Amino acid sequence: MFGQVRRGSVTMANVQDFIDDDPGYLAWLAVHPNGFVLNTYRRPTSAYLVLHRATCRSINLLPSGGSTWTKDYRKICGEREALESYARDAVGGDTRLCGHCL
C-alpha cells in the first residue's frame, strides 16, 4: 500500500491522505478545526508518526524556508482514534503526540 507514492488526496476509511495537494490539505484544515493530522514521511514509517491538532502551528504554518506542506511530508487527516488506528494497522507504529498542541 505504501510502496507507491500517490499524488493528490485519497480518502480511506475515516481518514483523508494528502500528498502533493496543498490546496486540498488547507481546505480540509479550514473545514475541520477540531480534527487531527498525522504528519509522517512521504513514505510512512513507524519511526515518524506525529499526531497534531488541526489548529497546530507546526502543521498549518509553513516552516521557515519551506514552500509546501504536502510535498516532502504526507498529511493524513481525520479523527484522533482513526489516525491512531491507521498508524498501528497500516504502518505498524504508534503515534507520537506533538509537544506544541497535545
Are residues 9 and 18 in contact, defined by beta-carbon separation less than 8 angstroms? Answer: yes
The pLDDT value recorded for residue 37 is 98
User: Average of pLDDT values for 89-100?
Assistant: 94
- What pLDDT is recorded for position 5? 39
* pLDDT tens digits, one per residue of 3-42: 333 445 555 668 899 999 999 999 999 999 999 999 999 9
pLDDT of residue 13: 62
DSSP 12-78: ETTEEEEES-HHHHHHHHHH-TT-EEEEEESS--TT-EEEEETT-HHHHSPPTT---SSSSEEEEEE
Instruction: Express each pLDDT in 50-92 by its tens digit.
Output: 999 999 999 988 877 788 999 989 999 999 999 999 999 989 9
The pLDDT, as a whole number, for residue 8 is 57
